[in-house]
Amino acid sequence: MKMLSIMQQEPTLSVRSVSEAGAGEILDRLDAAVWVFDIDNSQITFANPAALELWKATSAEQLYARDLKTDMTPTVAKRLKQYQNDFTQTDAAFTELWTIYPNGKPKSVMVVYRGYRLEDGRMAMQCEAIGDFDNQPDNLRSAEALLHTDVLITMFSKEGPPLYLNPAARNVFLAPIESFGSLFEKPSVFKEAIALVERGGENRLVSKLRTVLGNRWFDLSLKSCSDAVTGQPAILVTAIDVTELKEARDKARHLANRDQLTNLHNRSYLQGYLARLEEDGEALGSTIIFFDVDRFKLINDRYGHEAGDTVLIQIAERARAALRTQDMVARLGGDEFVVVIEGRCSRAALEKQIERLRSAISAPILHDKTRIDTTISVGVAGYTDETTRFTDVLRDADIALYASKQAGRDRITFFSTEMGAAALERDQTEIALKKAVQEHEFVLHYQPRLDIRSGKIVGAEGLVRWHRPGHGLVMPNAFISICEETGLIDELGKMVLQIGCAQAITWRRAGLELDLSLNVSPRQFADPGFLPLLKELAAQTDFPHGHIELEITENVLIGDHASIAEKLKAITAMGYRIAIDDFGTGYSNLSYISRFPLTCLKIDRSFVDQLPASGPVVQLILTLGQQIGARVVSEGVETQEQLDWLIEHNCEEAQGYLITRPLDVDGFEAFLQGTIPAGAP
């Protein structure tokens, strides 16, 4: 059994009363075949003589006994169920092509269906054959195709209800359909689509339509045509549900453009965005704001990576909330973010906006009841007549950000050309440093450590200097941070340890009893090659076990305390001692200090400098030193008053210009022999 349906307007019937017997007579004499089909049981329950003839049945009983399910495909069965439903709800009528198989041979007839309530209350279908269908194979097959396709095919009058819906469309669209336009989620999309059809005769678009399953995406093909029945203008609409495809594609695009953690745009999207801005000629005057989280690594080390993630997510949310919707925010990766403010903007307005961003982000962040104080450093640069490429503007903003960091973090810096020159110089220094590491252009100078009680020099700190060709002697503050950032510190640090240990061995062979301390940078400490190097150095003949002290900063002690303690123990087991440099300025957790094998605390110069005002803090460190059995060295002692205070408060050692500045090897040895008076530069 096959059907082709044409929806039709319910004709207005004038009803005259006829007796039941009279009605039966009319049915018997009717040329048109009329029968009632029990949808639930796939049986005919009534047929007039014309219907018996059509079904090639010898008697009504014989026809009623037939099980029509055998000739029925599952699609047809499903559709019949749907009709049954429709009849229950509305007094609808459909005209359909029905291919029946009265004696095994197909016969197609046009049939009008209406609902018919059976005596037991169930809904059946009253069928009325209104004529043979032209049984041309092409007609039959095209009708068949229309019937079974999953593509939604409909024909609409220009403004009114649908003229035709194929079964797939009837299944999907919510009845009753007022007009084609009423299917659209957005009326504006419909208006635009229909305008294009009117202009060009056809249109293709992907749009969201209302369906029984909610609003879904369809690939729509619209063609203007005329209704073959009335000749009126109409629109033929073909629709394919592409929701899954579209969502998968949207998701893929979203993933490619977004940062997974914060859901902000990512680096590749930013690049595309800026490139488009330039292509459209809209870049001039636009501003790029580059910012990163101050000491983010420390947050990760101290509170764990989950806390680090929370901080980044919070920052992203706050940045988004503090900016206007048209401003673009992207996370470049790590703790680096970029904001693009499109179009010209006065410096004052810009400053205000960035300040608002900075203060919004800088509020404390809560992670698992822990309050994390975060600040950001910001660099700002703009597109100008000279700087027209985003790579250059980004570089300028990065340089300004670097300047913010150098100036003490938690601040906003606008790029200036002088800064550009400084950055260029920094780049050149970096190149020169690479060469310096290969060419061994570094030496150590030594600053004596005075034992306050005995007044004797008991040790020295080795401080690196760079003999930069054409620049004279360069101090570490000018290059250590660059080496840290570029990773050159691993090589440089190794060199410092080699030079220092060699010097210590020489002094020992010369019979000098000296402790030598050497600085180790955090990155160097974390380097997997660090321990093997120490082992190798300690294995040298005449290595002064117990007299080489490694100065690490407090920040090295933050993170996984157990593994740090283990590493420190391994180092001390090799015969090294451990000092904490610049003590009091870092973020170490005092409660852990006692668990580490520390032999020395070096009080930072900033405290010694403030004596006696800073007395309570210095006193605290002296007590802590006593508690954990570490010697305390005061750094940067410049005046006799400072030294007197330290003598009075039982500080063990002092180091500073008052005793002497750092000296080269010869100078230091001469100083030891007392040839240079203390305090001379």
Chain contacts with ligand C2E (rule: CB under 6 A): 447, 463-464, 475-477, 480, 493, 496, 519, 521, 551, 581-582, 605, 635-638, 655-657, 662
Q: Which is nearer to ligand C2E, 328 or 464 (CB)?
A: 464
Min dist. Cβ of residue 442 to Mg ion (A): 16
Distances (CA, A) of 650 to 88, 167, 626, 627: 102, 98, 10, 14
CA dihedral (665, 669, 674, 677) in degrees, to 10, reads 0
Phi, psi of 89 (to 5 degrees): -85, -40
Min dist. Cβ of residue 655 to Mg ion (A): 9
Q: Which is nearer to Mg ion, 2 or 449 (CB)?
A: 449
How many Cβ atoms are within 10 Å of 407's Cβ, its own excluded?
Answer: 11
* Residue of 581, 611, 653, 662 interacting with Mg ion (CB under 5 A): 581
Q: Site map for Mg ion, 582-611, x if CB under 5 A?
A: x-----------------------------
Q: Return the HEC string of 17-64.
A: CCCHHHHHHHHHHCCCCEEEEECCCCEEEEECHHHHHHCCCCCHHHHH
Q: With binding defined as CB under 5 A, does residue 549 bind Mg ion?
A: no
Q: Which is nearer to ligand C2E, 56 or 605 (CB)?
A: 605
Min dist. Cβ of residue 355 to ligand C2E (A): 33
Q: Which is nearer to Mg ion, 404 or 519 (CB)?
A: 519
Q: Which is nearer to ligand C2E, 339 or 654 (CB)?
A: 654
Do residues 577 and 549 make contact, with C-beta atoms less than 8 angstroms apart? Answer: yes
Q: Which is nearer to ligand C2E, 76 or 480 (CB)?
A: 480
Span near Mg ion by CB under 5 A; candidates 33-41, 376-384, 614-622, 634-642: 634-642
Distance CA 160, CA 177 (A): 9
Distance CA 104, CA 92 (A): 31
End-to-end alpha carbon distance in the chain: 111
Q: With binding defined as CB under 5 A, does residue 551 bind Mg ion?
A: yes
Q: Which is nearer to ligand C2E, 519 or 555 (CB)?
A: 519
Classify strands 43-47 and 34-38 as parallel, antiparallel or unpaired.
antiparallel
Q: With binding defined as CB under 5 A, does residue 653 bind Mg ion?
A: no
Helices (H) and strands (E) in the chain, counts: 24, 27
Closest CA to 337 of 268, 403, 291: 291
* Token reading at 285: 């005057």
Min dist. Cβ of residue 547 to Mg ion (A): 16
Q: Which is nearer to ligand C2E, 211 or 660 (CB)?
A: 660
* Residue of 413, 519, 588, 634 interacting with Mg ion (CB under 5 A): 519
Span near Mg ion by CB under 5 A; candidates 50-58, 135-143, 384-392, 511-519: 511-519
Distance CA 131, CA 32 (A): 8
Q: With binding defined as CB under 5 A, does residue 553 bind Mg ion?
A: no
Min dist. Cβ of residue 604 to ligand C2E (A): 7
Closest CA to 604 of 648, 555, 660: 555
Min dist. Cβ of residue 566 to ligand C2E (A): 22
652 binds, among ligand C2E, Mg ion, none (CB under 5 to 8 A by kind): none
Which parts of this chain interact with Mg ion (CB under 5 A)? 519, 551, 581-582, 635
